[in-house]
Structure 1
Amino acid sequence: MDRSRRGATRRDVLTYGTALAASGGLAGCSSILGGDTADAEAGTGSYTVSMLPMGEVTFESPPETVFTRLTHHADMAFALGCGDSITAMHAPDYYDGLWNQFVERLPGVTLDWTGLYSSWKPSKEKLYELDSDVHLADPAWIAKQDAWSREDLEEVATKISPWFGNSLSDRHAEPALGWKAGYEYYGLWEQFEIVAEAFKERNRYEALAAVHDDLLSTIQSGLPPESERPSAVMLASADLDEIYAYTLDNPGFLTAHTRPLGPKDAFDGEIETNTVVDFEALLSADPDVIFFLGGFEPGTSLPKREEAFRADPVASEITAVQNGRMYPQGARYQGPILHLFQLEMTAKQLYPEQFGEWPTYEEGPYPEIPTEEQLFDRQKVAAVIRGDL
């Protein structure tokens, strides 16, 4: 459909701070479950929210349908009660299976992302077809793709709905030419707060932020001295022929659940994150703890991964392998809900004496942890997502 030939629509263009035009959507996707204001629930009254690289974006009302590209944004929408309003995301079936391993522990909460449009390399034509009320994605990242020009991004923002997201805060990556001026890097919860303002869900954000603050306080008060902390590395590998190593303290929200725990870098700063390593390099680094990225993937057998390391004459000499300290992780592009689980499990995996033993895990959902050993309240988090504020 050619929107340029239509008259005023439900997304009349308002303002957009960096020359990309912005627009508003319909009433919020979860307003009946506890939206912030009567105006938001009625779909009346415009409001402006600012996030770079977009600048100021004015909405007529909270979005009902949400395009996302990466899972930190999808998780934000989910946390704000809009998980069922997502129209697109990267690898939806894969991440539906992975996220549901954690959602299993949130009573009364469900999530279904199966069958959505896979938006790793979105087309402009598909965005017209989806007709989402907001594009919760970073235009500076989309601009890195050859198929997208600045004019294309402006067209989508003007004729469909605004861009409103920031992804290069993942590891403080360099923006594409034309986007460097004024680009800003946000912490995970800092960006979540801004997104919550756009969705008119301040109450939900504050309730979840309080849970997060309590969890961080528990961790900070229980951390052992630096001299007593283990060395660690995170690995990802579809097979043992190509193993990627990730450092745990580099800037960005990808390490938001490991930086607060302060483990020692097994490579002592000698490699950059996302570096291919072999067993010899791992033995030389000799980590006390190995994290397996994607260890919660449905159908993944953690025991098989561990056995592959124990069966290799070189890998079997690594301290983490000999001591059985090989643990699963979820996903790097975490939003607020996954972040809570990953903070808890990583704290237990690194410091069992301080935060309680991590249960033996082989496969399936996030393990059930006795209430008295949980580091955050699942009931409270689930109530926020459901809108029972």
Structure 2
Amino acid sequence: MNDDTDSTDVRTPTTRRGYLGRVGALAASGVVAGCTTGGGTEGATDGPDGRVTDTPTASPTPEPTPTETATETATPTSYAASIEPVGEIALDDPPETVVSGWGFVGDVLTALGHADSVVGMSRPGFWYQGFYELLPEVSMRDTTEIPATVSKGYSVDEELLYELDPDLLATDPNRYIGWYGLDAGTVRTLGEEVAPFFGNESRSKRSSGWPNWPDGEAYDYYSIPEFVERYGRLFGEAERAAAMVDLYETTIEDVTSRVPPEGDRPTVGLLNAFANPESRGFFAVTDPNPALDVTHELKQYGDLGVVDAFDGMYPDEGGHYDLKTGFEGLLEADPDVLVFQEAVNALGGQNVYGNTEAYEGTLDLLRNDDIGRQLSAVEDGRLYPGGTGSQGPIVNLFQTEMLAKQLYPEEFGEWHGFGETPTDEQLFDRQRVADIVNGDI
């Protein structure tokens, strides 16, 4: 059967380690890695058909004695959490090894003190490390040593997943279907034989063709704090999660409450840091306003009320880039500020999927071109590096502070450059973040 439904319902809890020891019995009963019997996203150039096997008749099982029953019910697991679309999963122990997608979950796990649990990622290069070096006594991961479980051609390395044998697949299974081309039966098998899935695609608004496995029904998006809390429960880090959420929400509320009135804000053009007429044949402009506020890819731009200089100019179907334009198009919009999305990857920590030369080349092109020199942002020196879209709570705190200072220096103080913010001008407490990461809460 080749549709987006499955006669297994993933919303019934089970245990990862208990399940691994009794795959046959669970398959026979219809309970598999959180599954029991029952009924495309922009930003990446990165499914399932719902096939199920016939369910054999289970052999009679002796009824448990009263003592056995009492023992089972008296020791509930402490590592259970729920997330759509997979529902609730329960583990005997917190996950020690994790395969995730891009950098978002890695940042969430860093906040919870479990960065070292990541043993594989779909795209290791999208887990930006540069901000961690700005935190006292917080270690960076060498993402070049983390194996990629998805090829550059966007195909899942199933053999590697089995080899890594993680305790958790910390990603939305619909990514494997909608972006990487797996069918539902294969995804279901990975959830049974490798590890349970636990993830939700909330980076940006899901496309109209999103698979919505397992039942074809659209499911919730989650905010950054909700992800922290849910992963915190699954990893037995509820207290640390609560501390991080409190710090995060307090900071964001304080910053957003100080944003100037719209009439006092500069207009902004959000450009791809590494696309220009020499490298790609065009400048790539992104709409900075999130289609859904709850999503995290462009969260700082939405939170800080960015006034988009290109508002109303985007085509109905933007493709991989929202808008492609040349020097004339930039001059027509003439933003007060130009921010270069993903440029942090050329400035701090590991240089993951861009390089300093490519970013600097884009800046030089604008400054030296006859038309580029006429842009207000170029004349006024308001060309700023932008953040990465794969941001959890820690990265978003840094990137919100960075953008606030770039756009509204009269209110938040000047942005002095990457890693150059004096302590008395910082908008959140780096030491407090580090203490939470290190378990000193």
TM-score by length of 1: 0.83
Q: How big is each residue's C-alpha offset from its partner over 1:125-155, in whole Å with a ceiling of 9 and x where there is no partner?
A: 2111110110111111111246411111111
1:72 is aligned to: 104
Q: CA deviation at 1:169?
A: 4.2
SS at match of 1:191: helix
Is the contact between residue 126 and residue 390 of structure 2 (CA under 8 Å) also seen in structure 1?
no
Alignment partner, residue 34 of structure 2: 15
Residue aligning to 1:288: 336
Distance 1:146 1:90 in 2: 10
Residue in structure 1 matching 2:113, options 78, 81, 98? 81
Partner residue, 2:430: 378
Give the corresponding residue for 1:61.
Answer: 93
Q: Report the identity percentage.
A: 34
Alpha-carbon spacing, 1:17–1:211, altered in 2? closer, same or farther (3 Å):
farther
In the other structure, the counterpart of 2:191 is: 157
Q: For 1:53-78, what per-residue CA distance to the aligned partner results, in whole angstroms no more than 9, with x for missing partners? A: 11222222211111011111111112
Structure 1 residues 90-135: Cα deviation after superposition (integer angstroms, max 9, x where no partner)? 443x446x41x21111110102233111133322221111101101
Please give the secondary structure, in 2, of the residue aligned with 1:170. Answer: coil
CA distance in 2, matches of 1:168, 1:85: 22
Aligned equivalent of 1:312: 369
Work out the CA distance in 2 between the residues paired with 1:328 and 1:82. Answer: 29
Contact 1:280 1:314 in 2 (8 A): yes
- Identify if the C-alpha distance between structure 1 residues 244 and 83 changes in structure 2 by more than 3 Å, giving closer, same or farther: same
Q: Name the counterpart of 2:41.
A: none
What displacement does 1:317 show? 1.6
Report if the CA contact (8 A) 1:52-1:182 is conserved.
no
- Rounded Cα–Cα distance in structure 1 between residues aligned with 2:91 and 2:322: 38
Contact 1:66 1:135 in 2 (8 A): yes
Q: Indicate the residue corresponding to 1:220 in structure 2.
A: 256
Does residue 259 of structure 1 match 2:302? Answer: yes
Quote how far apart the aligned CAs of 1:315 are: 1.9
Q: How many residues align?
A: 353
8 Å contact from structure 1 (residues 236, 244) kept in 2: yes
CA distance in 2, matches of 1:17, 1:375: 47
Residue number in structure 2 paired with 1:38: none
Q: Aligned partner of 2:285: which letter?
A: A
Aligned partners of 2:298, 2:377: CA distance in 1, in Å?
Answer: 20
Aligned 8 A contact 1:188 1:256 in 2: no
Are 1:79 and 1:337, in contact at CA under 8 Å, matched by a contact in 2? yes
Normalising by structure 2, report the TM-score: 0.74
**Residue 186 to residue 269, structure 1, CA distance change in 2 (3 Å):** farther
Q: Structure 2, unaligned stretches of length 5 or more? A: 1-16, 27-31, 39-49, 51-74
**Contact 1:16–1:57 (8 Å) recurs in 2:** no
Residue 18 of structure 1, CA deviation: 8.6
Cα separation, partners in 2 of 1:188 and 1:172, compared to 1, 3 Å: farther
Q: Which residue type is aligned with residue 253 of structure 2?
A: S
**3-state secondary structure, aligned to 2:420:** coil
Name 1:235's counterpart in structure 2.
271
Q: Cα 1:177–1:102, aligned 2, differ >3 Å: closer, same or farther?
A: closer
- Report the equivalent of 1:32: none
Contact kept? 1:16, 1:56, Cα under 8 Å: no
Counterpart for residue 246 of structure 1: 286
For 1:337, give the aligned amino acid.
Answer: I
Counterpart of 2:80, as a letter, is T
Point out where structure 1 has 5 or more consecutive residues left out of the alignment.
Answer: 21-42
Deviations 1:176-228 (A, max 9, x none): 34534042222222223222222221112211112212222321232111111
Alpha carbons of 1:18 and 1:228: their partners in 2 closer, same or farther (altered >3 Å)?
farther
Q: Is 1:133 aligned to 2:153, yes or no?
A: no
Q: Distance in 2 between matches of 1:126 and 1:376?
A: 40
Say if 1:172 and 1:185, in contact at 8 Å, map to a contact too.
no
Give the SS at the match of 1:341. helix
Aligned CA RMSD, in angstroms, stands at 2.5
Question: Aligned with 2:377: secondary structure?
Answer: helix
Query: Does the alignment pair 1:118 with 2:148?
Result: yes
Residues 128 and 95 of structure 1: CA distance in aligned 2, closer, same or farther (over 3 Å) = same
Q: Secondary structure at the match of 1:276?
A: strand
2:393 aligned residue = 336
Q: How many Å separate the matches in 2 of 1:289 and 1:351?
A: 11
Question: Which residue is 2:138 aligned to?
Answer: 109
Residue aligned with 2:189, SS: helix
CA distance in 2, matches of 1:90, 1:290: 31
Q: Tell me how far 1:303 sits from its aligned partner.
A: 5.0
Which letter does structure 2 place at the counterpart of 1:330? G
Asked whether the 8 Å contact 1:80–1:196 carries over to 2, the reply is yes
Q: Which amino acid aligns with 1:258?
A: Y
What SS does the corresponding residue of 1:135 show, helix, strand or coil?
strand
The reply to whether residue 387 of structure 1 matches residue 439 of structure 2 is yes
Q: Which residue matches 2:242?
A: 206
Aligned to 2:222: 186
Contact 1:18–1:53 (8 Å) recurs in 2? no
> 1:329-359 CA deviation, whole Å, 9 max, x = no partner?
2311111111010000000001000000000
Name the stretch that deviates more: 182-191 or 125-134: 182-191
- Distance change in 2, residues 1:274/1:333 (3 Å): farther
Q: Residue 84 of structure 2 aligns with which residue?
A: 52
Alpha-carbon distance in 2 for matches of 1:171, 1:215: 25
- Mapped partners of 2:297, 2:182: distance in 1: 26
